[in-house]
Amino acid sequence: MKKSAPIAARAAGACALALSLLSTAHAVPVLEMSAASTATGFELTVQARDVVDLFAYGFSLSFDPALLKLTAGTEGALLRQGGDTFFRAGVFDNDAGSVTYTLGTLIGQVPGVTGSGQLATFSFDVKQAGLANFKFTDVALVDGSGADISVETRNLVTAVPEPASIAMFAVGLLALPPAASPRALKPLPRHMTPRTS
């Protein structure tokens, strides 16, 4: 009887370990966003996590046009790990607050990429500070055989800081010394007064 308890405990431990390994091996891929302020504005990065055999992707996203103006989109590094790629930043609509049909794909008969990394980065000019909502639509991930990859999407709500130019102007104003009042000004002593001929 005493020997069966340690055996049962070891078996339970082995089962728990096997389940944890299986859950990490079959994690559902995630498409998510992160944001950061830059010296010139604001950047939104789209990244994929735990993808297996990713050959191509496409998505659209929306943002708040009252706060941000989309200026550029660049390809991330994840797909390029697998070889040559084609990337299209999508169609920008700053009135509606959207970028549609962003896509990236490997070129040629090559296997897809497995792992995590950046798919695209979008640069914005900041119009005003506020709380910005970024949402995914039309998401599609495809593997090397052309089959769809199931993916969990995570939208983002984040604070947008004041535009850099306004913030720098405010900092500049704070750095200026207070204006001297006329009463504080005293006449120069006679020996320091400039002579006129």
Split at pLDDT 50, 70, 90, the class of 27 is confident
Q: What is the mean pLDDT of the chain?
A: 82
Phi, psi at residue 2, to the nearest 5°?
-65, -30
Which residue in 17, 33, 23, 53 sits closest to 150, CA to CA?
53
Domain limits, the chain: 27-171
End-to-end Cα distance, the chain: 119
The pTM of the full predicted model, rounded to 2 decimals, is 0.71
CA 28, CA 152: separation in Å to the nearest integer?
7
In words, the CATH class of domain 27-171 is mainly beta
| pLDDT higher than threshold 50 for residue 160 | yes
Q: Are strands 30-37 and 42-62 parallel, antiparallel or unpaired?
A: antiparallel
How big, in percent rounded to 5, are the helix, strand and coil portions of the chain?
A: 20, 45, 30
| Least confident range of 14-28, 29-43, 88-102 | 14-28
pLDDT of residue 39: 87
Residue 177: both structure tokens together: 């010394």
Q: Please, how many CA atoms are within 13 Å of residue 56, restricted to the half-sphere of its CB?
A: 20
| pLDDT higher than threshold 50 for residue 23 | no
pLDDT of residue 187: 54
User: What average pLDDT score do residues 164-193 get?
Assistant: 49
